[in-house]
Amino acid sequence: MSAVPSAGHVIGTIAQREFRIALRRRFLRTILILGFLPPIGAAVVLIIRLLLKQMQGHDVGWDPLPFLLNFQAIPVFLAALGLGTPAVSRDRSEDVLYLYAVRPVNPSLYAAGKMLAVFLPAFLVMLFPIAMVITIRQGILGSDAAPLHSLADFGRAFVLTFGLAVAMAGATVGPSAATKRGRWALLLSLAIMTLPDTILRVFGLDGDWAIGPLNVSHKLVETLFESKVWMESLGHLAILLTWGAAGFLLTRWRVAREMIP
């Protein structure tokens, strides 16, 4: 007798397939490769800092981490667009949601699988370079960099990366579920990234807060790494997680309506 596959197996299977399909596109492969260029630049900055210190005898104090945290969101954003926007719209336009329904896949598992296909690459493309730079910084600067400081930076980077990857998954997979055309999903997704903060700005409501996933992630970098205001950081993280939850719920709702004969 066959056992019902675990939720993890089903979610992982859907995510794996989605990622394999996406990797066939040159655009996405390029973005993923380019995503590793900023940390290389950051490592070069650290090496120059070390050389200057050795030659001139004083530390210029250049820290490429804050720059990298903001800059790395761009390849993550592009990768998320490439991965997430066709994910559900393709299945809807090909009319294959019923194929999932006749297998041990319910709408929640389906939505979670599609979200994971965006979340995991986005998370790794963001966190891995940051972890590399923190490690290189610690290694190059040696005793000048406090290990605890590096660990704290890594913890903060983990929180930022988690929130950003969840938001990117929600803000790209959700629009994909709303339409049968990948291009419309792409436009919707871009609108989600830009329109909310534009509207806030038009009404003069911008300031310490933002709504759009990308701008919220920049605000989170500020509050986590610069001003270190924890309550505001939590608020920004909550907004990012809300984008993720909204994308998941929209996908789940849309798919549940179409997973029937």
Partner 1 sequence: MNPPWIEVENLHLSRGGRPVLMGISAALHGRAVGLVGANGAGKSTFIGALLGILAPDKGKVTVLGLEQPTAALEIRTRAGVMAEQAGIFPGGSGVDAVVFAGMLSGLVRKEALRRAHRALDALDVGEERYRATAEYSTGMRQRCKMAMSLVHDPEILILDEPTVGLDPPGRTQLLELIRSLRDEGRRILISTHILADAEFLCDEMLLLDAGTVAFSGPVAAMMKGREERFVASGDRLDAPLVARLAAANIPATIDSAGRLVISAIDADSIRRFWSVAAEAGAAIRRLDREAPTLEEALLARLDVVRANGGTR
Residues 82-111 interacting with partner 1 (rule: CB under 8 A): 90-91, 94-106
Backbone angles phi, psi at 252, to 5 degrees: -60, -45
Nearer to partner 1, 21 or 187 (CB): 21
Q: Is 119 in the site for partner 1 (CB under 8 A)?
A: no
Measured distance CA(221)–CA(76) in Å, rounded: 15
Nearer to partner 1, 231 or 260 (CB): 260
Measured distance CA(235)–CA(221) in Å, rounded: 13
Nearer to partner 1, 14 or 250 (CB): 14
Judged by CB under 8 A, the residue of 61, 142, 204, 261 near partner 1 is: 261
In the shown chain, the binding pattern of residues 39 to 78 toward partner 1, with x for contact by CB under 8 A and - for none, equals ----------------------------------------
- The size of the chain, in residues, is 261
Counting Cα atoms < 13 Å in the Cβ hemisphere of 259 gives: 21
Nearer to partner 1, 79 or 101 (CB): 101
Q: Is 13 in the site for partner 1 (CB under 8 A)?
A: yes
The 8-class DSSP code of residue 85 comes to T
Instruction: With CB under 8 A as the rule, give the number of residues binding partner 1.
Output: 30
Joined together, the tokens standing for residue 201 give 């700005």
Measured distance CA(28)–CA(82) in Å, rounded: 6
Cβ atoms of residues 68 and 126 within 8 Å: no
Q: Is 14 in the site for partner 1 (CB under 8 A)?
A: yes
Joined together, the tokens standing for residue 177 give 């579920």
Nearer to partner 1, 85 or 215 (CB): 85
Burial class (CB in 10 A: 0-12, 13-18, 19+), 219: buried
Q: Is 28 in the site for partner 1 (CB under 8 A)?
A: no
Counting Cα atoms < 13 Å in the Cβ hemisphere of 194 gives: 7
Closest CA to 43 of 123, 121, 139: 139
CB of 89 to partner 1, least distance (A): 11
Nearer to partner 1, 117 or 126 (CB): 117
CB of 21 to partner 1, least distance (A): 4
Interface ranges with partner 1 (CB under 8 A): 1-5, 9-10, 13-14, 17, 20-21, 90-91, 94-106, 259-261
